[in-house]
Amino acid sequence: MIKVLFFAQLRDKLGVSELSVNSDENPNVQVLLNNLKAKDNHWEKTLASASLMVAINQTISNKTATLSSGDEVAFFPPVTGG
């Protein structure tokens, strides 16, 4: 399984902070994103932002990165700390 996390306005819009997906059906970040967008129109729109950031196992990554079982994938909007 892969653990998927959402933060800040992304979490608020989706109404979900965490979910689990099957690792066989989600070999990389792009496929995972496509599968999440396929849920419905609202997910599709919310995850469409070009500025969406992704971290794999707590390190900033990108959409071409591959995934394996046990990974923690986080999606979030551009960060605004500091």
- Which of 1, 8, 19, 48 binds other proteins (CB under 8 A)? It is 8
67 contacts 34 by C-beta, under 8 angstroms: no
Nearer to other proteins, 34 or 70 (CB): 70
Residues 11-50 that bind other proteins (CB under 8 A): 12
Q: State the DSSP string of 24-67.
A: TT-SBHHHHHHHHHTT-HHHHHHTT-TT-EEEETTEEE-TT-B-
User: Minimum distance between the CB of residue 78 and other proteins, rounded to whole angstroms?
Assistant: 3
Residues near other proteins, by CB under 8 A:
5, 7-9, 12, 51, 55, 58-60, 72, 74, 76-82
